[in-house]
Chain A
């Protein structure tokens, strides 16, 4: 299958990443002469989009890291000067107004970003490390190891992603750690499959044979010869996966099974604001917009890196 799924529903966790990894072959697309001017215009537009996306992500990372030292109202206290559900406005403090019970929207948005990014980085990090090790071992050792690993990975993939997350959330205590663990388990399969398939193609290459002839140990070949060549392909997937993880965390928190209150999360904020949809739609639109922008940015950056490192024409 050679499909570049753009995916980002909750489940793209699997679909998206699996397809990104399958789509390592490039598809030549030659532009006809009449297309050329517009193609270069797209490239320019595309790079504007890329820089905007990068700027948003840098801003987000900055406020998330320095949330504690920024002059923000505490996210769990009421803002005395404003009524609940105050709208956005040109105020020096609280430009985004207040939430349904009168807490600072700006502060909750920033601390929600911190929660999302923390969960994203932690779970992607865990699944990246475990998935890569499993994939390397299966792809290089092959045989029995590979068979067992493939069956186990397929078992994880047998559950629709959100259903598996819900099952894990229902078993575990309601905490950030449960969410991270669930997302990490979900992520192991795609990363392991990606690393395995890349390792399989690399294992027969001359440089690996050369290293083996020189008497390099299996461990040395796996970590010093193969792993460095696997990394470029993974980097773009990390961004795409991060987008999927943020969506999944948002969905869980939205359903009330993710980050426990009073800690803010974007999904939880959308859910809380939902009943005020007709009178104060900004309660939903602000966190929803922030999440949309973040996912869009992560995908844009990931896609750009993929085209850069892996080659191939971006289909979305």
Chain B
């Protein structure tokens, strides 16, 4: 176990080093001089040159990469061209919004997917199963930029239940905050609902063929008790892994959802940064999401092995 964890961690560090290298390369790959992006097209050559010195752009790539990496290790991601603020403070301001969005989405998705997946598995090919399969296959085929306009049309324009866009901090007014986040959460949870349901369904179908389910049934236990007390737990490994690994997908979808609902999260930050060619900010957000994603994946891998006794016994 210890050896497995060590190997996973080394792998993670190597991947993160390569990620940081690729990310820092972005500045050099972007056509055009960043100095003109900051100073405007009318900048004098002297001003451009002094800015190059200030930003360290006159030094070779590997020197800048070394600096960038050592700053990164201290949590310093540089300064945004556009906002004249440190990138890490911009990210930490945006993070709570995205975190709230993703946590609520995962909770909602699990709350819907668990009963749906278990009941679909109970009778393969039954009405519940077919209905669920049909609906979730539509969910899965509707990316946020398609589903959000539909949701807005129904909930905002037709029924006037929720506000269309905007954001209120939870600390300022919890009710308003929740009202603004309901629709984004629904839009973001369509994909995980479908994915979680399918994962849980296929595992539960296998579990329900086991002998201990037969014996539970023979004891005369109620269907509900069999499904949720006996079958759910051994069937939830894939679901838990998937819930952990879905973070990358959710970060990606959150970009679109935040943009559509004008939520001031990480997604809105990267899109505005790209639109104004604020390269340090783009790099910072890309690096940050990659680190979160990689660390999360590694944690899930290790946790999974720890939780499943069958895997724990295997040699790493």
A124, CB-defined interface residue at 8 Å: no
Q: Are B248 and A288 in contact (CB under 8 A)?
A: no
B256 touching A255 by the CB < 8 A rule? Answer: yes
Task: Indicate if the CB atoms of B253 and A30 lie closer than 8 Å.
Answer: no
- Asked whether A162 and B255 contact (CB < 8 A) given A167-B26, A171-B29, A257-B274, the answer is yes
Q: Is the CB of A170 within 8 A of B293?
A: no
Contacts A171-B29, A274-B149, A299-B140 hold; do A158 and B293 have CB atoms under 8 A apart? yes
Q: Which of B29, B125, B290, B294 contacts A163 (CB 8 A)?
A: B290
Using known A-B contacts A161-B252, A170-B30, A299-B140, determine if residue A288 contacts B149 with beta carbons closer than 8 Å.
Answer: yes
* Tally of contact residues, B, Cβ under 8 A: 73
Interface size class of A (residues with CB under 8 A): 35 or more
B240 to chain A, nearest CB (A): 10
The answer on a CB contact under 8 Å between A10 and B125 is no
Is A3 part of the contact surface with B, judged by Cβ < 8 Å? yes
Q: Judging by beta carbons under 8 Å apart, are A316 and B271 in contact?
A: no
Min CB gap B278→A, angstroms: 9
A181–chain B nearest beta-carbon distance, Å = 12
Roughly how many angstroms separate A164 CA and B274 CA in the complex, as a whole number? 12
**B125, B209, B245: most-surrounded residue (chain A CB, <10 A):** B125
Interface string of B198-224 (1 = CB under 8 A from A): 110111011001000000000000000
Docked Cα-Cα span, A5 to B201, in Å, equals: 11
Taking the complex as formed, is A1 at the interface, i.e. its CB lies under 8 A from any CB of chain B?
Answer: yes
Given the interface pairs A7-B249, A281-B153, A288-B150, the reply to whether A31 lies near B198 with Cβ below 8 Å is no
A152 in the interface (beta carbon within 8 A): yes
Could you tell me the distance in whole angstroms from the C-beta of A301 to the nearest C-beta in chain B? 12
Q: Contacts A154-B11, A167-B282 hold; do A10 and B140 have CB atoms under 8 A apart? A: no
Given contacts A152-B18, A163-B270, A299-B140, contact A7 B252 (CB under 8 A): no
Inter-chain contact A155/B199, CB cutoff 8 Å: no
Q: Quick one: given A11-B249, A292-B138, are A3 and B146 in contact (CB under 8 Å)? A: no
Give the A-B contact count at a CB cut-off of 8 A: 216
Contact with A along B159-183 (1 / 0, CB 8 A): 0000000000000000000000000
Q: What distance in Å separates the Cβ of A89 from its nearest Cβ neighbour in chain B? A: 20
A14 adjacent to chain B (CB < 8 Å) = yes
Task: With CB as the reference atom, state the residue of chain A lying closest to B14.
Answer: A151
CB contacts (< 8 Å) of B206 on chain A: these are 27
Is A158 touching B19 in the complex (CB atoms < 8 A)? yes
- Is the C-beta of A56 less than 8 angstroms from some C-beta in chain B? no
Q: Which chain B residues in 125-143 approach chain A with CB under 8 Å? A: 125-126, 130, 133, 136-138, 140-143
Contacting pair A3 B149 (CB below 8 A): no
Complex Cα distance A295/B145, Å? 14
CA A172 to CA B282, docked complex, whole Å: 14
Contact with B along A90-101 (1 / 0, CB 8 A): 000000000000
Interface 1/0 per residue, A255-270 and B, CB below 8 Å: 1110000000001001
B94 within 8 A of A: no
Q: Are B15 and A158 in contact (CB under 8 A)?
A: yes
Q: Let me know if B191 is at the binding interface, CB within 8 A.
A: yes
Q: Are A255 and B271 in contact (CB under 8 A)?
A: yes
Measured between beta carbons, the chain B residues less than 8 angstroms from A194 are none
Q: Please indicate the chain A residues that have their CB under 8 angstroms from the CB of B130 in the complex.
A: 38, 42, 45
Tell me which residues from 1 to 44 in chain B have a Cβ below 8 Å from any Cβ of chain A.
11, 14-16, 18-19, 22-23, 26, 29-31
Contact code string A1-38 (vs B, CB < 8 Å = 1, else 0)? 11111111111101100000000000111110001001
Can you list 19 contacts pairing A with B, beta carbon distance less than 8 Å?
A1-B242, A5-B198, A8-B141, A8-B142, A9-B144, A10-B252, A11-B253, A27-B206, A35-B126, A38-B126, A42-B125, A151-B15, A152-B18, A162-B256, A163-B286, A167-B26, A170-B274, A254-B145, A300-B137
Extra pairs beyond A167-B286, A291-B146 (8, CB < 8 Å): A5-B198, A151-B11, A154-B15, A155-B22, A166-B270, A250-B145, A284-B149, A315-B198
> Lowest 9 CB-CB distances: which A-B pairs, in order?
A162-B252, A11-B249, A160-B248, A295-B141, A9-B191, A155-B18, A170-B274, A315-B202, A11-B252
